Amino acid sequence: MAMKVGDKVPHFTAKDSKGIIFDSSTVIGKKPTVIYFYPKDDTRVCTEQACSFRDSYQDFTDLGAEVIGVSGDSTTSHQKFSEKYQLPFTLLSDNDKKLRNLFGVPTALFGLIPGRVTYVIDEKGIVRLIFDNLSGKIHIEKALQMLKKIV
């Protein structure tokens, strides 16, 4: 079942780019969080999106927010992607689609491509914005707009 605005984000764990288990309870419910799901590391639109989050990362941290990227790529792929583009935020590996299913992230283009969806979550762990759009860069703008309203 897809997550909706107003829902509380359930607890989850996943491996980060270093192969370390990330526990959502270290962030969710403690500070505003932006979780963005993207199709694939090192592809044109996904790279543009990740680099836009990187370039605006200070704006997010100034608002007290954490940014987390999620795709089905391996931890090794995430590590290379993160190092290549100097990404300062956490990337989680969702190769079993557990997180996509938990959040209800749809697939795009007739089910061929994993969806690109951004969730803005407040400091209580409540989803405040769900933005589903294949364009990468606009996600950053929408997430910052919502964060400015809720912090």
pLDDT tens digits for range 119-128: 999 999 999 9
**pTM as predicted:** 0.96
**Residue 1, in any domain of the structure:** no
* 54-72: burial string, b at 16+ Cβ within 10 Å, e else: bebbeebeebebbbbbbbb
The number of domains in the chain is 1
51 included as an active-site residue: no
Q: Is residue 41 part of a domain?
A: yes
pLDDT of residue 110: 66
Residue 127 falls inside a structural domain? yes
**Domain-embedded: residue 58:** yes
Q: 83-104: per-residue pLDDT in tens?
A: 999 999 999 999 999 999 999 9
pLDDT band at 60, cuts 50/70/90? Answer: very high
Q: Which domain holds residue 49?
A: 13-150
Q: What percent of the chain has pLDDT over 90?
A: 88
CATH number of the domain encompassing residue 81: 3.40.30.10
Q: Is the pLDDT of residue 57 over 80?
A: yes
- pLDDT mean over 116-137: 94
Q: Which of 28, 34, 46, 105 is catalytic?
A: 46
Q: What percent of the chain is modeled with pLDDT above 70?
A: 98
Mean pLDDT lowest for which of 36-50, 63-77, 109-123? 109-123
pLDDT at res. 111: 66
Q: Which phi-psi region, left, alpha or beta, contains residue 105 (left: φ > 0; alpha: ψ -120 to 50)?
A: beta
Q: Are 116 and 133 in contact (CB under 8 A)?
A: yes
